[in-house]
Amino acid sequence: MVDIKKKANELLAANAVQVVIGFEEGTSGKSRAIFAQDAAGVDKLIFNSQCVLNLAVYLTKHEIKKLGKPAIIAPLPVMRAIIQLASEFQIKESEMAVLGVSPEGKLVEFQTFAAIESYLKDFKIAMDEKEKEILAKISNMSLSERFDFWMQELGECFKCYACRAACPMCYCHKCAVEQNKPQWIPVAANNLGNLEWHAMRAMHLAGRCVNCDACHNACPKGIPLNFLTKLMMVDAKEIFGQDGPSLKDGHLLSTFKPNDKENFIR
């Protein structure tokens, strides 16, 4: 943390950036985002296992862009989100500094997004044992069992859209759920409305999700909606060979390749 703070102060002092997006101590033992603009702000920076919010979500917010050029404290999920956002032309490397944090908590400096992509080759997204267990449990359900499982879980949803708000990849100014001419997704937080909302969101994240779990961590009802996108991620890898974010191939659902498999189309 000493290195990160030192670097953050250097960047601010040289006016190379105007704001450092990082974590500070929150209330009730929580951590939260801080937008440090001076040494006093930098002094508040922390980094620990409680820092689960994906800070990359702030890179595309117009309120935060107004603060000036940012430096962002970037553990692995943030690095992955940066690569995905860059591949979708949402951010540019000339417009930010990335203060990488290695899994050991050490500062990793990057001059280019390509350097981040290269660094991530050693840290491929991998499901841990608990995730594998839940994925297997869901995958082994019969179709009707799986439908019932999701209808029950999604039945809790009251459509606060915290999952969308916390997701770095949900940066649309007008989400498909807000399209009403025609209306694609029922607005009501009832069975149909919830199912369509979550199915649509998962599909929109196919091949784009960076497995940061920010959606699930944000959910006030604790819905395991991150497993919808995890399942999509498994499929994206198996069917299309998409193995995590890539600067070149970041658009699974909008990219056509002659050798794409078609055997899943019935």
Partner 1 sequence: MTIEKYLVKSASLSALFDKIKASGKVVQAPVKKAHTVDFMPVNAFNEITDDYIVTTQSAKSVAFPRVEKLFKYTKAKKEVTIADYAINTIPEVVMWGVRPCDAAGVSPLNAIFTWDVDDVIFTTKLKRTTFIGFSCQKSDACCFCTSVGGNPGATAGSDILMTKLSSGNYLAEIITEKGKAIQVLAPEFFEETPSEEKEKNLAQVPIQFNYLEIKEKVDAYFESDIWKAQAQRCISCGTCAFVCPTCACFDIQDENHGKVGQRIRNWDSCCFSQFTIHTSGHNPRESQDRRWRQRINHKFSIMPDRINAYGCIGCGRCSRACPVDMNIMEHLIGISQLAKK
Q: Is 48 in the site for partner 1 (CB under 8 A)?
A: no
Residue from 114, 165, 203, 253 touching partner 1 (CB under 8 A): that is 165
CA angle (186 as vertex; 189, 233 as ends), nearest 5: 80
**β pairing state of 19-25 and 45-46:** antiparallel
**β pairing state of 70-74 and 97-101:** parallel
- Using the rule CB under 8 A, give the single segment among 27-35, 96-104, 227-235, 249-257 that binds partner 1: 27-35
Using the CB atoms, write b or e for 58-86: b if 16+ within 10 Å.
Answer: bbbeeebeebeebbbbbbbbbbbbbbbbb
Q: Is 20 in the site for partner 1 (CB under 8 A)?
A: no
Phi first, then psi: what are they for 109, rounded to 5°?
Answer: -95, 140
Residue 103's nearest CA partner among 127, 78, 133, 84 is: 78
Q: How far is the CB of 6 from partner 1 (least distance, A)?
A: 24
- Using the rule CB under 8 A, give the single segment among 22-30, 70-78, 106-114, 252-260 that binds partner 1: 22-30
- Asked whether the beta carbons of 132 and 140 are under 8 A apart, the reply is no
- Using the rule CB under 8 A, give the single segment among 24-32, 137-145, 204-212, 250-258 that binds partner 1: 24-32
Q: Alpha carbon of 123 to those of 75, 78, 126, 132, 243: distances in Å?
A: 11, 13, 8, 18, 11
Q: Is 13 in the site for partner 1 (CB under 8 A)?
A: no
- Supply 54's token pair: 């994906």
Determine the 3-state secondary structure of 26 from DSSP: coil
Residue from 27, 94, 259, 263 touching partner 1 (CB under 8 A): that is 27
Q: Is 112 in the site for partner 1 (CB under 8 A)?
A: no
By beta-carbon proximity to partner 1, the closer residue of 120 and 218 is 218
> Which DSSP helix (H) or strand (E) runs through 76?
helix 76-87
Site residues for partner 1, 191-210, by CB under 8 A, read 193
By beta-carbon proximity to partner 1, the closer residue of 119 and 161 is 161
- Using the rule CB under 8 A, give the single segment among 70-78, 83-91, 128-136, 213-221 that binds partner 1: 213-221
Q: Alpha carbon of 43 to those of 25, 86, 118: distances in Å?
A: 11, 29, 31
Q: Is 130 in the site for partner 1 (CB under 8 A)?
A: no
Q: Is 33 in the site for partner 1 (CB under 8 A)?
A: yes
Residue from 6, 10, 13, 32 touching partner 1 (CB under 8 A): that is 32
Q: Is 30 in the site for partner 1 (CB under 8 A)?
A: yes
Q: Is 259 in the site for partner 1 (CB under 8 A)?
A: no
Query: Can you give the binding site for partner 1, defined by CB under 8 A?
Result: 26-28, 30-35, 53, 57-58, 61-64, 156, 158-162, 164-166, 173-174, 178, 186-190, 193, 217-222
